[in-house]
Amino acid sequence: MQKITPFLWFGGNAEAAALYTSIFPDSKIVSTSRYGEGGPGPAGSAMSMTFQPRQAREQVSTLAH
């Protein structure tokens, strides 16, 4: 059976992944990539996040606007 991996896009607000960790019990944010100085987004803001709701693993990305 082929595995399907969802990819969620929150257009400028990758921190929205925290909403999913509050909805699903036993969820956690696994990693966060942040923009650096001179990047396309504000320095320190989340560029992408990987979170794990229960046993699955999802990735969330954002675009600077």
pTM score:
0.62
pLDDT score, position 65: 47
Residue 48: which domain range? 7-61
Residue 2 lies in a domain: no
Q: What is the pLDDT of residues 33-55, one digit of tens each?
A: 889 999 888 899 888 888 777 76
DSSP conformation class of 42: -
d(CA 17, CA 34): 14
Number of domains in the chain: 1
- Distances in Å between the Cα of 61 and the Cα atoms of 2, 6, 25, 26, 47 are 23, 12, 22, 22, 6
Q: Under a CB-based contact definition with an 8 Å cutoff, are residues 30 and 55 in contact? A: no
Question: CATH code at 52?
Answer: 3.30.720.100
Phi, psi of 5 (to 5 degrees): -115, 110
